[in-house]
A and B are shown apart, each in its own frame.
Chain A
Amino acid sequence: MTTILNKYQLQITIERLACQVIENYVDLSSVVLVGLQPRGIFLADRIFEQLKKIKPGQIFDYGKLDITFYRDDIREELHEPNHTDISFSLEGKNVILIDDVLFTGRTIRAALDALLAYGRPKKVDLCVLINRRYSRQLPIQPDYCGKSIDSIISQKVKVEWDKEEVNLY
């Protein structure tokens, strides 16, 4: 096991990701955060809190999206769906899609499909904590990235929120 980010590094990475969002969108009222179920919402929660800390008083929406029904591998294995909570329209919004680890890109492909059921966003950005380079199966790249790593397919990246660490197994 190797530690990719320790507790201190994880905290400053999240702070940086939030700052990068503000760099691009000075006015957050057009921004919507969408965390991906199940594990992306932990990061989304943290970025949401951080943005509120940096820009107190700014009101912007935060939703949770489950992509189970949009997966392209349901004929291999059925997955238990998680709850989706998007109680607002995405029409004309700048959506920041948030997940913990970007690996093959298939989850994000499904998420892009799922998002469109809630309206036509102006723009969709992808924010991930860990980008596993050279393992993509679809042409998808992050716009905000905590850390890029090189890993082989048999390795596992685990974001352990209870210990506030990211480890490579």
Chain B
Amino acid sequence: MQLSTKHLLGIKDLQLRDIELILSTATQFKEVLQRPIKKVPSLRDTTIVNLFYENSTRTRISFELAEKRLSADTLNFSASGSSVSKGETLLDTVNNILSMKVDMVVMRHGASGAPHFLAKHIPVAIINAGDGINEHPTQALLDAFSIKEKCGKLEGKKIVLVGDIMHSRVALSNIYLLKKAGAEVMVAGPPTLIPKYIRQAFDIRVEYNLKKALQWCDVANILRIQLERQNQVLFSSLREYNFAYGISKKLLDSLDKEIVILHPGPVNRGVEIDSDVADSKQSIILQQVENGVAVRMAVLYLLSNKQNFN
């Protein structure tokens, strides 16, 4: 029983059986998290560094908790307050940390491809916790886990990703994963936030009308507007975006079915999703966060084999 890869750089590199193995292992870790003592000794021989070159709340806490639940030793590094500001390169920083005998690296970086670069140069397992606008594989895995838990399966389910598809790494990882798992995928949002050739590139549906998209789907994954990555004006104002593409209770009530709402966080209430929707029983936002720990435990456990690098 093993994954076909030594690193988790993106869903793109995974086979369907890898995804299934991660999700089934996560189911067992979810049970561990219900026990009175929520900890297993599996990774007590492993030291993991969390390298965060970009801000994060959920992903960082979730990884750290997953590592601790597996009994691993953890180190936290954030770019602000480190020697990165003195001019140290990524590779130098990581090699210095590795010389202190670290076994795995969890990394978030603003540059797309940064973990792929590291994987070529260092002999330990790397887990991508988000790289620029490329991928955020553990988010897609926990989204898939949450959808599976709520709807029973992914195959044949109609899933729409709404919002800033262009700048969202969550969108790309989700598209790869859902296509591999046999789900039907649609992206929806303003034309300026949807890459032009995405339909041809991934064989998915594109819809610019939010109501039509929601009417079609079983599950809607609402994405945040990534203002920090947009270096030009792509829509006139957040208020106008909310009018055209925000998910409101009224809009959901006008559909003839009840759909499931996901959001990877952080939620901008009143922009891409209204408060009453985010807090409604249709939304599984907090279940996603809970499942995130179990899914990350599964990924860490399955990639912890040091023999991969001997």
- A-side residues, CB < 8 A to B, are 66, 68-71, 74-75, 77-86, 89, 113-114, 116-119
Contacts and interface: CB of A to CB of B under 8 A. Distances in A.
B131 to A, nearest CB: 26
Quick one: which of A74, A83, A86, A118 has the most chain B CB within 10 A? Answer: A74
A85 to B, nearest CB: 8
B42 A80 contact: no
B36 A69 contact: no
B2 A70 contact: no
A66 B45 contact: no
B237 interface: no
Contacts of A70: 40-42
A16 B72 CA distance: 44
Contacts of A80: 1, 21, 24-25
B36 A119 contact: yes
Interface stretch (B245-253, B255-263, B278-286, B302-310): B302-310
Contacts of B306: 75
Interface of B: 1-2, 21, 24-25, 27-29, 31-32, 35-42, 45, 301-302, 304-307
Contact of A79 (B1, B32, B41, B307): B1
Contacts, number: 56
Given A78-B1, A113-B41, A83 B31 contact: yes
Nearest to B31: A84
Contact of B36 (A68, A114, A117): A117
Contact of B307 (A75, A81, A84, A117): A75
26 contacts: A69-B28, A69-B40, A70-B41, A71-B42, A74-B42, A75-B307, A78-B1, A78-B302, A80-B1, A80-B24, A81-B25, A81-B28, A83-B27, A83-B31, A84-B28, A84-B32, A85-B31, A86-B35, A89-B36, A114-B40, A117-B35, A117-B36, A117-B39, A117-B40, A118-B35, A118-B36
